[in-house]
Chain A
């Protein structure tokens, strides 16, 4: 099955700085890569996703890049704010069906200091 590795496990940045979280995946057939933000006591919330036919996607301060050849994808958050503090998870969906299960990384605890 698919194996998703996520780094770093913890990340501390000053407000206004950028944050980058990186993930790698093992199954070259994976074609959909969502990112979720999970705040304490809540379920994961989708923040951005990308399909394998796209190299980069941006939504305001958040962007995701995908390198299919190297099998890695990254989350970029610019102009970080204290409310960005949370655990972020990357995921990959194996196979071409929308029924495909998601495989998650172990998460990155992001702390933004004011």
Chain B
């Protein structure tokens, strides 16, 4: 049973550029949440997608946007990158329709903005 997968594993961008990160949820899961983890900090919630809609959003600007596809996979897009966007971006999946609250995390995408 494949766990949560994310791509790419690492990414280097320059300020002002745009980036797209991808996530495939654990088999059977229908919900994807995205978190940003700065160095030495706990993960911070960005947003959550269920039934292809954004259901909840954390305190992140509109430069951060996302999408969920019919197969439950998801993308995180960040526009106009800032140096402060450098972080580990984590995707977590869960099974909301099955009332299973456990969130399983992927390995993350390490983004460096120069």
Residue of A nearest to B98 (CB): A98
- Would you call B50 and A101 a contact (CB within 8 A)? no
Interface of B, secondary structure class, is: strand
Residue of A nearest to B44 (CB): A104
Q: Mark B95-114, 1 if CB is under 8 A from A, else 0.
A: 01001111111111000000
Q: Which of B41, B56, B99, B104 contacts A101 (CB 8 A)?
A: B56
Q: Which of B35, B42, B43, B101 contacts A32 (CB 8 A)?
A: B101
Q: Contacts A34-B102, A104-B44: A99 and B50 contacting too (C-beta < 8 A)?
A: yes
Instruction: Kindly list chain A residues whose C-beta atoms are within 8 Å of the C-beta of B43.
Output: 44, 89, 102, 104
Instruction: Kindly list chain A residues whose C-beta atoms are within 8 Å of the C-beta of B105.
Output: 36, 43-46
Q: How many residues of A contact B (CB 8 A)?
A: 24
Q: In the docked arrangement, what's the CA distance between A77 and B73, Å?
A: 35
Instruction: Kindly list chain A residues whose C-beta atoms are within 8 Å of the C-beta of B96.
Output: 98-99
- Would you call B99 and A98 a contact (CB within 8 A)? yes
Q: In the docked arrangement, what's the CA distance between A104 and B88, Å?
A: 15
- Would you call B41 and A107 a contact (CB within 8 A)? yes
- Would you call A98 and B94 a contact (CB within 8 A)? yes
- Would you call A42 and B45 a contact (CB within 8 A)? no
Which residues of A are at the interface with B, using a C-beta cutoff of 8 A?
4, 6, 32, 34, 36, 42-46, 49, 89, 91, 93, 98-107
